[in-house]
Structure 1
C-alpha cells in the first residue's frame, strides 16, 4: 500500500449531505484585487531533458492580453489522485492567478501518479525531491522554448519578476529554490539548488524541519530528513492551516510553520483558521483529497497570495498592505498574518 504524500492528512472526508442553495461563492473572499481578464491555457508544452526517463510536460496559463507579465512557476503536491498532482491540477488557484495578470507554468514532476514512476529503481523515488527542483530550474533555463511553444505568448514575459509557488511536497520544492537545505538522494551529501532568478516564494502547507520528521516517514522519504531553513533567504510567504496536523509525519503541531519560524526574514506567515492540508480545496475543483472543502477559504487564500506576490515583485505596490488590512477588518477573519 502506498504511503501518503509528505504533509498529507490522508484521512477520509466526513460524510456530507446536500446543502440548501446559498449565495454564490465569491472570487476573492473579501480581499481587494484588480479586475479579472480572460485566460488562455495551452498544454502540453514539452521539453526534452537529457537523462530524464520521460519528457518534461507542463501547462501554461496566461492572461489573454497584456505585456511584461510576471511569472509563477507552480510545483504540485505528492497527492494520492491519479491526475491532480500534475499539470492537470490546482485549477482553483492557477485559474485565478492567470486571470489577474500572472503567467502560470505547471510542470509535471516524476512523482505524478499518472507517470507510474513512484516505485522506480531510482534513489530519488518516490518523492523525486531533487528531480522536482531540477524540473523547475530546467523550465527557467528554457523560457524561450516555453514562450515559443505557446501561441501568442512570445515576448510577453517579464523575466525579472519570477515567483515560485508550491503545495505540500511542492512547497518543499519551492523552499529549496529559495535556499532551504536539501540532500543528494544518492549519497546524502548537502546540495545547494537555490536559484536567484526566483525573486519571491510561496510555500503552501510545506513539510517542516527534518529533525522532527517521524521515523517511518523519514525512512520512506529520506530527502526530507535534510530539510532546514537557516539558508532560506528569498522573501517568502508561508501558508499553513491551523488544523493541518498529522502525527504520521511529525509530533509537533506547528511543524508546517517551520519555513517561517526557522528561516531569516523577510518572511510572512498566513495562518488559515479551520484549514487542513488541502487549505479548503486548492488542488482541484471538488478533489477527493480535500478534507476541509471551503471555497470561500480558497477564494481568500488565492487573493492573498496574489497580493503578496504583487508587492514582493513590484516594490511600492500596496496590494499586500491592502489585503492584510482587509483580512484584519473582517467581522470573522478567515486567517491571520504575521511578518518579520
Structure 2
C-alpha cells in the first residue's frame, strides 16, 4: 500500500523485489524450527539489513506495506515467525508461554548469528548484504522485542534490573507503538497477565526512532496514548519521535491492506510511516546521507500534515 500524497524529499523510486519463504532452520530448545521470510532488492550490493519483529499473533507473512516499501528501496528485510503467532497456535498452558518475550529475543539473536546462512539460502542474494549495517524494527509486542536488542531492560518484580540482552551488531532501530512504563502505569489486567511489561529505557543508548498515534488508547495502561511515547522520553538513545495525528495502534494499516484489525485505515498515514522509517534508518546507518533531515523538513512544511516530529 503506497500513496503519492505526502511525498517526502529524498525517497528513491522503487526497484523490483524478491521475496523468499519459508527459510527453516533448527532452533534447539525452542520446541519448533524457526521460520523466516526474506525480502530484498533484486539488484544491488552492500545492502543494509532490517530484522523485523511482528506484533503479537502475526507471522512472517504480515506487515507487507512496510516490508515491501523498505525492500524496494534498498534494504534486505528479514521476518521471523515467533512462538506467539496464531499460525503456531500454542495453548496458553504451554510451558513456553511465560517466557515467549525471551524466546523472541533469542530468535532475533539467532538470525544475527546466521546471517551468512540466510544470505546463502536466498537465490541471488549471496554476497550482496552489508552485515555491518543492521537495524531492528518492531511493532507493539515486537517493539518490546526490538527494544531489548537496542538496550532496554526489564525491571523485575523486586525492582532489580533484568538481564542485558542488547546486541552490538544492531546499529539503529525503530519502535512502533512500544509499551510504556510498568508498575502503577499498567492496568490491573496487564499487570496480572504481562509481568514482563515493566521496561527500563534508561539503558537504551542505540539510535532509535519511536512512533505513536495520538488516538492509541490501550487496555494495557491506565494512562492515555502518551504511554506509547515513554521509550522516547525515557531513553538516551531514542532521538526521534513521530506522533501521528488520529493514529491508533495499527498506525493506519501497517500490518496489511484491508486487515480487519485495523480500525484507523488511512493510506496517507501508512505512507508517512513507510517514508519516515526508511529515511531515519537510512541516515542512521549512513550518517553522511541527509535524507532524514530533508524528510523532516518536508513533513513540517506539508500543508496536509498528518503528524509531527520531535527530536533531541
TM-score (norm 1): 0.87
Per-residue CA shift, 1:257-278, capped at 9, x if unaligned?
Answer: 0000011145110001100000
SS class of match (2:119): helix
Mapped pair 1:271 → 2:243: yes
Counterpart position of 1:172: 144
How far is the alpha carbon of 1:127 from its aligned partner?
7.2
Structure 1 residues 317 and 25: alpha-carbon distance in aligned structure 2, compared to 1, 3 A threshold: closer
User: Which consecutive unaligned segments of at least 5 residues does structure 2 have?
Assistant: none
Contact 1:118 1:126 in 2 (8 A): no
- Whole-angstrom CA distance in 1 between matches of 2:19 and 2:44: 15
Counterpart position of 2:43: 65
Mapped pair 1:159 → 2:141: no
Counterpart position of 2:269: 297
SS class of match (1:113): coil
Contact 1:132 1:173 in 2 (8 A): yes
Aligned residue runs from structure 1 range 95-110, under 5 A: 95-110=68-83
SS class of match (2:268): helix
Mapped pair 1:251 → 2:222: yes
TM-score (norm 2): 0.94
Counterpart position of 2:108: 136
Contact 2:252 2:266 in 1 (8 A): yes
Mapped pair 1:203 → 2:180: no
Structure 1 residues 285 and 121: alpha-carbon distance in aligned structure 2, compared to 1, 3 A threshold: same
SS class of match (2:168): coil
Aligned residue runs from structure 1 range 69-88, under 5 A: 69-79=47-57, 85-88=58-61
Counterpart position of 1:52: 30
Counterpart position of 1:30: 7
Mapped pair 1:232 → 2:209: no
SS class of match (2:97): coil
Per-residue CA shift, 1:145-185, capped at 9, x if unaligned?
Answer: 10111111111110110000000000000100011012689
Structure 1 residues 118 and 161: alpha-carbon distance in aligned structure 2, compared to 1, 3 A threshold: farther
SS class of match (1:222): coil
User: Which consecutive unaligned segments of at least 5 residues does structure 1 have?
Assistant: 1-23, 80-84
- Whole-angstrom CA distance in 1 between matches of 2:91 and 2:194: 11
SS class of match (2:24): strand
Contact 2:55 2:140 in 1 (8 A): yes
Counterpart position of 1:214: 187
How far is the alpha carbon of 1:27 from its aligned partner?
4.9
Aligned-pair RMSD on alpha carbons?
Answer: 1.8
